[in-house]
């Protein structure tokens, strides 16, 4: 019976963000992509994963999905056989001016989505997300189409989940399963040095750090073959 691989999408993403990996890995794994709906906290999302999952499973999270994966690890580490964290982070909302600025920026995007629609918001939001070469390329249209399939209500719920995110840094030292940490060289939102620090904090496991060249935040869609190669090593470890 094939092993179950649960794939966690990030903010406003759906199964399209993991489509290249599902296509590559379905012959050997039962792939499940979570749908967050209107769930508005990372803990509730993690509980949703655990309710849908078999007794043990392999887990990968992209962006916000990486934070959900770490919350799953906090709640039920014994159920996770392997862990992959892609283009993500561990820190809570900053205190003071930085936190206020992040919240204001997210709420401004939500207001724009409510006024002009998800695609219009996405065209503005997604532009700095990927590698510069992505803008105008077919993958950029795929990202916009994915955002258009969502709604302002979902956006509001997931913004709340991120603004109330816990500090996941203490979790890293407790991870003992085979781990992959991956990001794009040009990921301005979740840069390589952030992922390097995460790997260094994983004292109990020899995590692999992969930094993809010519790649921004949407690694699974921008460089699918390179992500699939990294996954193949991780799944064989």
Q: Give how far the C-alpha of residue 216 lies from the chain's centroid of Cα atoms, to the nearest Å.
A: 13
The answer on pLDDT for 113 being more than 90 is yes
**What pLDDT does 129 receive?**
84
Are β-strands 179-184 and 29-33 bridged in parallel, bridged antiparallel, or unpaired?
A: unpaired
The enclosing H or E element of 61 equals strand 57-62
Residue 132's CB is within 10 A of a number of other CB atoms, namely 11
What is the pLDDT averaged over residues 179-208? 96
Comparison of pLDDT for 22 and 203, the residue scoring more: 22
88 φψ region: left (φ > 0), alpha (ψ -120 to 50), beta (else): beta
Please check whether residue 215 is in contact with residue 184, taking contact to mean a CB–CB distance below 8 angstroms. Answer: yes
Are β-strands 80-86 and 57-62 bridged in parallel, bridged antiparallel, or unpaired?
A: parallel
DSSP per-residue codes, 166-230: ---HHHHTT--S-EEEEEETT-SSS-HHHHHHHHHH-TTS-PEEEEETT--S-HHHHSHHHHHHH
Phi, psi of 132, rounded to the nearest 5 degrees = -50, -35
Per-residue pLDDT of 131-157, as tens digits, reads 888 888 899 999 999 999 999 999 999
pTM of the predicted protein model: 0.97
Q: Which domains does the chain have, with CATH numbers?
A: 3-93+161-236 (3.40.50.1820)
- From CA 5, how far away is CA 30, in angstroms rounded? 6
12 φψ region: left (φ > 0), alpha (ψ -120 to 50), beta (else): left
**What pLDDT does 133 receive?**
85
CA-closest candidate to residue 64, choices 96, 103, 112, 17: 17
What is the pLDDT averaged over residues 186-209? 95
Residue 42 binned pLDDT confidence (cut-offs 50, 70, 90): very high
């Amino acid at each position: 019976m094939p092993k179950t691989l649960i794939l966690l999408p990030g903010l406003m993403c759906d199964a399209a963000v993991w489509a290249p990996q599902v296509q590559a890995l379905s012959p050997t794994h039962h792939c499940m992509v979570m749908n967050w709906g209107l769930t508005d906290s990372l803990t509730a999302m993690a509980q949703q994963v655990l309710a849908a999952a078999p007794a043990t499973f392999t887990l990968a999270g992209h962006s916000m999905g990486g934070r959900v994966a770490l919350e799953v690890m906090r709640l039920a580490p014994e159920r996770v056989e392997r862990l992959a964290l892609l283009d993500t982070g561990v820190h809570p909302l900053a205190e003071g001016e930085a936190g206020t600025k992040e919240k204001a920026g997210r709420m401004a995007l939500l207001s724009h989505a409510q006024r002009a629609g998800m695609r219009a918001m996405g065209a503005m939001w997604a532009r700095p997300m990927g590698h510069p070469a992505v803008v105008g390329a077919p993958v950029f249209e795929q990202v916009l189409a994915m955002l258009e399939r969502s709604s302002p209500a979902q956006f509001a719920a997931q913004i709340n989940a991120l603004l109330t995110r816990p500090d996941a840094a203490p979790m890293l030292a407790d991870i003992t399963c085979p781990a992959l940490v991956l990001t794009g060289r040009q990921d301005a939102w979740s840069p390589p040095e952030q992922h390097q620090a995460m790997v260094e904090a994983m004292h109990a496991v020899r995590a692999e750090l992969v930094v993809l060249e010519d790649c921004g935040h949407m690694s699974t869609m921008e460089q699918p073959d390179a992500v699939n190669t990294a996954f193949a090593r991780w799944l064989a470890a």
